[in-house]
Structure 1
Amino acid sequence: MAIHTFVVLAYKQSQFLETCIKSVLNQSYKSQVIIATSTPNPYIYDLANKYHLDVKVNNGKHGIGYDFDFAVNAANTELVTVAHQDDVYDYEYAQEMVEAYKKQKQSIIIFPDYYEIKHGKDKVYKNTNLNIKQILLFLLRFHGWSNRRLIKRSALRFGNAISCPAVTFVKANTSNEIFSSNMKSNVDWLAWERLSKRKGYFYYIHKPLMGHRIYSESTTSEIIGDNLRTIEDFEVLKLFWPKPIAKVIAKVYSNSEKSNDM
């Protein structure tokens, strides 16, 4: 019986939703797959019926963080990945997550590297943004240290190095409210900051196992365009640094996001 679930978080009518669904169904490890949404519509239900997937509808509090929490809690397995509708997951992703969990069951989150998908199909493995994240994640390569609070927070002190769609949650070691907040851009960064204080490991797999799509209509690109991310960067950085230092780091970090421009 599968111990891992992909919860595909669907919003409105993404042109890439079916591609995401295909990628999570086409895995070497056969995970459970369901769809979660706060915007039910015929497009989502048609795809669910086509691939024989259950749809869980969030009729509670809405917002990015609350939708993410709903998706995590919709799964009944030990491990759950909230698959973002625009992204894709490589054939070995689920298998790698399950194997990592078996090695370290005290993990809080398990996550690999990722690559960016631009212009619909181009896979980008190296750019300024990805290179900075590699540096920030370096200490987490040493799994024996990755339960230490200082090491976990080292990946977060200068920016958010952990990609939300790449993360698999170990439900027993988290909580029912991981993402709940009023933030829009940095709801995940704030979640990792909270989880870094918990007992357990941030288990990092140093290989790219999923693709994060970058395009002008995506929520991420819209947020960056509205300069909201820079404002929220400062708010999260204040959890790690005095205000003057946080302000400087936020300005430097915002420059790395320019690779998100189309």
Structure 2
Amino acid sequence: MITHTFVVLAYKESQYLENCICSVLNQEFKSKVVIATSTPNSFIKNIADKYNLNIIVNPNPGKGIGYDFDFARTCVDSDLITIAHQDDVYERVYSKRMVENFNIFPDSTILFSDYFEIRNNEKVFENTNLKIKRFLLKPLNFKNVSNKKIIKRMSLAFGDPICCPAVTFCQKNLKVNTLFACDMKCSVDWNAWEIASNIKGRFLFVNEPLMGHRIHEESTTTEILEGNNRIKEDYEIYQRFWIKPVAKLLTKLYSNSEKSNQI
């Protein structure tokens, strides 16, 4: 039987952490749930104790968000692993759909769903940002060819359409310990997917909005979009797909499209 674990990545004291934990504990497919953190504190411990969850502390904190992601991705032994971001929530069938699809396509390196945004505690299924990302994912709607390198890279060549907390990883197929770890602050996820696109295996897109990504003033997404490194990092990744003049143009267009992530 396929095993699946939610690793809830907790940081400092998020008011939404308990909501996230409740959503992953309330899955139809009973996944294992643990908490990973680089900032152990009494707030996280109290919630872990309340739900009888183990806390796994990163022994090498402070290196950056990408290093925290890789720690969370590799800190448990499970066929499938989802890094649940502390501010987000998951629909009850999320892990069930991931396992069902992996059983059909066991060569998948990553599996991921569509998602909705949570703004002011309301679910948002349609906006400019979501429409663009769904358009970019169209090549991956054809599951039978989603193991082809050209198809995987086609979906990434114009921007990052994959929502990181919606992703489930198959460690056995990825065969790498370092996927996210880098000095980037904004394009960490996109960098990881670009690396994964070169690894033999399938990008499996489950075209259902199975998780909610919260957009608020204290979220990591909002914070990193306010930094000056964002355009530089996007340009660096675009150059892996395009010549420099095209990369510059796409960087400018993509920067404008991402403004809907801000409050």
Q: The TM-score by the shorter chain falls in which range?
A: over 0.9
Provide the TM-score with structure 1 as the length reference.
0.97
Aligned counterparts, 1:30-45, within 5 A:
30-45=30-45
Deviation at 1:229, TM superposition (A): 2.1
CA distance in 2, matches of 1:103, 1:75: 24
Residue number in structure 1 paired with 2:252: 251
Residue number in structure 1 paired with 2:156: 156
Q: Which amino acid aligns with 2:112?
A: F
CA distance in 2, matches of 1:260, 1:238: 24
Indicate whether 1:225 and 2:226 are aligned: yes
Q: Which amino acid aligns with 2:115?
A: Y
Deviation at 1:2, TM superposition (A): 6.0
Indicate whether 1:27 and 2:27 are aligned: yes
Moved more, 128-137 or 226-235: 226-235
Deviation at 1:244, TM superposition (A): 1.3
CA distance in 2, matches of 1:221, 1:231: 17
Indicate whether 1:56 and 2:56 are aligned: yes
Secondary structure in structure 1 of the residue aligned to 2:156? coil
Moved more, 101-110 or 226-235: 226-235
Residue number in structure 2 paired with 1:12: 12
CA distance in 1, matches of 2:153, 2:70: 22
CA distance in 1, matches of 2:230, 2:15: 25
Residues 56-81 of structure 1 show CA distances to partners (whole Å, capped at 9, x for unaligned) of 00012531111111101112110000
Residue number in structure 2 paired with 1:204: 205
* Contact 1:166/1:210 (8 A) holds in 2: yes
Deviation at 1:106, TM superposition (A): 0.3
Provide the TM-score with structure 2 as the length reference.
0.97
* Contact 2:2/2:79 (8 A) holds in 1: no
Structure 2: 5+ residue runs without aligned partners?
none
Residues 10-47 of structure 1 show CA distances to partners (whole Å, capped at 9, x for unaligned) of 00111100000000000000000000000000000100
* Contact 1:35/1:54 (8 A) holds in 2: yes
Aligned residues, how many? 261
CA distance in 2, matches of 1:103, 1:33: 24
* Contact 2:98/2:112 (8 A) holds in 1: yes
CA distance in 1, matches of 2:179, 2:226: 26
Structure 1: 5+ residue runs without aligned partners?
none
Indicate whether 1:239 and 2:237 are aligned: no
Residue number in structure 1 paired with 2:128: 128
Residue number in structure 2 paired with 1:186: 187
CA distance in 2, matches of 1:229, 1:22: 33
Q: Which amino acid aligns with 2:247?
A: A
CA distance in 1, matches of 2:88, 2:212: 6
* Contact 1:2/1:31 (8 A) holds in 2: no
Q: Which amino acid aligns with 2:92?
A: Y
* Contact 1:2/1:32 (8 A) holds in 2: no
Residues 123-158 of structure 1 show CA distances to partners (whole Å, capped at 9, x for unaligned) of 111111111111110010101110111100111100
User: Share of identical aligned residues, percent?
Assistant: 54
